[in-house]
Chain A
Amino acid sequence: MGKYILKRICIMILMLIGMSFIVFASMYLAPGDPAEIAAGPSATAEEIEIMRAYLGLDKPFWTQYISYLTNLLHGNLGTSLITRQPIWSELSIRIPNTLNLAVAAMIFACVLGIPLGIIAAINKDTAVDNALTTLSLFGISVPNFWLGSILILFFCVKLGVFPTGGMDHYFWTAIGFSQVFLPAMSLGMQSAASFTRIGRSSMLDVLQSDYVRTARAKGLREKAVVLIHALKNALIPIVTQMGTSFGGLLSGAIVTEQVFAINGIGSYLINAINQRNYTAVQGTVLLIAAMFISINLIVDLLYCVIDPRIKYE
């Protein structure tokens, strides 16, 4: 097991190096001149050239990339073109906010989506099932920025029960909960709906299986049949979906953070793009990629916990 994790981490590093090339190359090819931005709006042509030499942008592509990669391998994401601060220190204060939002959204999606999927499955072809299936279709289709705005309009402006934006506490505190509730709901709605749909279909499959029939033949009550014998098996496809959903949550957070004025890596990335802060964009994209790859590793390890047949060598 330890060996397997080590191997996966090595592969992760290789993937991130590949990712760094794509990110670096796309920024290199993008229109705009980093030297001009770094030198500031009032700089003369001469000053821009000095800045270009200072940043090493006058060197050929490969030389630039190699020095970028060397810095990366030393844990250095570079410095912001605008603030001249190390990008890592700017990101690290924003990571907790984004993770707070994404994890809260994931919990929201699980708590809402999975039970609804089970309820739909055990009431197959009834009004309850039809209502839930329709609702989940709505949940999947609705864009999260729109949902966010509607939620703000209703809960904050009309009812005034939640703050309209900002986030400076973790979701398990009372203040943090009220701060994160609406953003988590708008961000997690699509995932919740997908869990309902996948949960419903995998539960339906499992409920028709032979071992569920055996459980019934044993004289177990329907509740025990569903919660003990069926649920664990039905969870496997849901866990797979959780992995991909989490990637969606990270990218969805970019928009949600804007809507709810949360100072996370998503809003940092948007600012960086608007300001053509190339190094900051590169660093943030790499960080999001690293988070996504790590989540996938965690999901793969979760399979082991649920299914004894899966063992990693």
Chain B
Amino acid sequence: MENDKVLDVKNLTAAFSIRKKEYEVLHDISFSVRRNETLCVVGESGCGKSVTTLCIMQLLPKNGHITGGEIILDGTDLTKLSKKDIVKFRGKKMGMIFQEPMTALNPLLTIGFQMKEMIKLHRGVDNKEAERIAVEYLKKVGIANPESRLKQYTFELSGGLRQRVMIAMMLSARPDLLIADEPTTALDVTIQRQVLNLLNDLKKDMNAGILFITHDLGVVSEIADRIVVLYAGRKVEEGTTEQIFNDPRHPYTIGLMKAVPDVDSDEYNIEPIPGTFPNITEEIPGCRFSPRCPYAGSCKLCTTEAPEGVEVEEGHFVACHLALRKESPNE
């Protein structure tokens, strides 16, 4: 089973320096992505989802850096690689799809140029073969008239088409890992559905793992095999989709589930999580969620000591002092 892991993130810690002060944005994050599996990383804006992906790609902005832990891809710890060597992994071993399809492709180069550049670089083929592969992958992602699309520029394509091109481009190098950072957020709902279905179909025949970042639980339920929930730079819960949706243990996850509108119910009863998301500069002793947690009031431990992740059932981890107790919020 170990060999099945495409990506193994162990105790990843990252920090940003803002005005010469260090602020920790990721604390002790561990998870792994297996082949033919979609792992969803869920959380509010600012919880560290995107930073996690940028750590893996080693594309953090200049003031951000990894301060600890390992990111193992294909047997190599990416955090130990030099700037020169990481280039060999990007694209080839791990592809990434970004949130904004409107701006993620170069406006002054044709689709064909951008795709062939990728294919020639990673598959070592000549221009003619690269063109054939580009057409093949555009067909795979369901684009009609791929030959003529290759000659077009991005401004001639809609957002959904651009995201398909992006997916085709990243898959054409046959990576082991595909990172998708909110790839559907900027698309309208019907196109969103098409792209999700596409990723689900592709997962089956591309033999890769998908790391999918989103804040949309609707999307998660469509696509995820397993879920990692992040809150303020910490992993609060991890489990299979069923475990998280049917049996959430962490008060934050429970809050998230309650905040999803139910279309089947006649009543409109969304329960928002009280309070606001902490700023990066705020220091919170104990559990980072405790100021907003409805159960933490009676618990001294919650405000003094950060909880460790505990396996509550097979493959289901929770980092909450209360989740293990009798007065567990779930009961």
Contacts and interface: CB of A to CB of B under 8 A. Distances in A.
B280 interface: no
The A contact surface, by secondary structure, is helix
Contacts of B118: 218-219
Contact of B155 (A213, A220, A308): A308
Contacts of A217: 57, 59, 90-91, 95-96, 98, 170
Interface residues of A, number: 21
B104 A211 contact: yes
A58 interface: no
Nearest to A233: B108
Contacts of B98: 210, 213-214, 217
Contacts of A220: 87, 91, 117, 121
A209 interface: yes
Interface in B119-173: 121-122, 153, 155, 166, 169-170, 173
Interface in A202-230: 209-211, 213-222, 228-229
A219 B88 contact: yes
Contacts of A222: 87
B107 A218 contact: no
B155 A218 contact: no
A232 B110 CA distance: 13
A309 B103 contact: no
Contacts of B109: 228-229, 232
B92 interface: yes
Contacts of B88: 219
Contacts of B122: 219
Interface string A150-173: 000000000000000000000000
A307 interface: yes
A220 B121 CA distance: 8
Interface string B68-105: 00000000000000000001111110011010100111
A219 B119 CA distance: 11
Residue from A214, A229, A309 with most neighbouring chain B CB atoms (10 Å): A214
B17 interface: no
A37 to B, nearest CB: 56
B104 A210 contact: yes
Contacts of A214: 96, 98, 104-106, 166
Contact of B59 (A211, A216, A221, A308): A216
Chain A to chain B: the 7 pairs with minimum beta-carbon distance, closest first:
A219-B91, A219-B90, A210-B103, A211-B106, A218-B91, A217-B96, A210-B104
18 contacts: A210-B104, A211-B103, A211-B105, A211-B106, A211-B107, A213-B59, A214-B98, A214-B105, A217-B95, A218-B90, A218-B170, A219-B122, A222-B87, A228-B109, A229-B106, A229-B109, A233-B108, A306-B108
Interface of B: 57, 59, 87-92, 95-96, 98, 100, 103-109, 117-118, 121-122, 153, 155, 166, 169-170, 173
Interface of A: 209-211, 213-222, 228-229, 232-233, 306-309
